[in-house]
Amino acid sequence: MHQDDDEYSVENKDEELSLLFPRYAEFRPDDERRFMPWLAVLASRRIPYRVVYRGDEAWIRVPLRRAEAASLELMTYEERNRDWPPPEGEMQSSGSTQKAFVSDASFASFMLFFAVLFRFFLWVENHDGLGEWNRLGVWDRDLVLKGEWWRNLTALTLHSDAPHMFSNMFWGFGLGSLVGTEVGVGAGLLGMVLSGFLGNWLMAFLGVSGHRSLGASTMVFGLLGLLAALHTWRGVTLIRGHRGSLVRVIPWTPLIASVAMMSLYGAAPGTDVLGHACGFALGVIIGLAWRIMKVWTLTRGTQFLLGLLSILLLVLGWVYALA
């Protein structure tokens, strides 16, 4: 008995010393569903650990010399998976957590926008005063710099012929539906019109005297810039903190692909290369601004007002042109 008492006493002393001077750190997630992912994080970073139990609670024990690294990895994991897994009730009620590739609202809104633009093209083409409409609304660098700013808007609604119109309808509807799904219909429409409007303004300062153009392609390439900025930002955010040359390239893939697409379709013979480039550049800037402002969190009412504002800008341009 005496020997057993001595052994018990020594074990107690070791346990007391370990509590006073711990040689390990312990971690435990608030949500039990995070426990196994935490183990996977530590294993993937080759941080040694043990699972210990205190009653019904499981804890992750890590050597003290690796505690700081373990804490950093777990904090990074939590930051990137802040909203996952969702509450069980939310998962059951939603049925799926995946976002639609194209939302119904975005699809319908951009289809309506370009359908109205096509109807306007037909009306102008069949109107007796076709030449007058083009004279009043065509983009002319010299006139814009003399103060006729509205041409930056009116030129977006004019097209030289049916193939020109159909090309912009096709690309504008497709890209617009994607952008509207990402940031909301109103923000998508406003971003498109602003990229065209401001892109034409930029072209006025970069172009040469006598430069004239018309068409919605400036804002169509603005949509491409918006989409590139939104997805590049997302890629950089998701990949931040990792290492490796391949990883550093991956986030920029959407932007690189968009530049390649602009070079392929926006620099064809006979096209307004400068206008396409200016629209694309302004689209990238607006896309970054929309991402920082998190416009997709706006209410439906606010999104509706942004969409209405984009239409009113185009109408305002023609009001000034016809005045």
Query: SS in 3 state form for 247-273?
Result: HHHHHHHHHHHHHHHHHHHCCCCCCCH
Tell me, what amino acid is at 273?
V
Give me 149's structure tokens: 């700013």
Look at residue 129 in the predicted model and tell me its pLDDT: 59
Look at residue 102 in the predicted model and tell me its pLDDT: 84
Q: Which domains are delineated in the chain?
A: 18-94 (3.30.70), 104-113+121-322 (1.20.1540.10)
Q: What is the pTM of this model?
A: 0.64
Give me 175's structure tokens: 């890209």
Alpha carbons within 13 angstroms on the beta-carbon side of residue 127 total 12
Look at residue 14 in the predicted model and tell me its pLDDT: 44
Residue 129 dihedral angles phi and psi, to the nearest 5°: -100, 40
The Cα 59–Cα 27 span in angstroms is 6
The Cα 133–Cα 152 span in angstroms is 14
Q: Report, as ranges of residue numbers, the positions in the chain whose pLDDT lies below 50.
A: 1-17, 21, 88-97, 237-252, 264, 266
φ/ψ bin of 182: left (φ > 0), alpha (ψ from -120 to 50), beta (otherwise): alpha
Look at residue 71 in the predicted model and tell me its pLDDT: 86
b (16+ CB within 10 A) / e for 269-303: eebbebbbbbbbbbbbbbbbebbeeebeebeeeeb
Look at residue 57 in the predicted model and tell me its pLDDT: 85
Q: What angle do CA 319, 322, 323 make, to 5 degrees?
A: 80
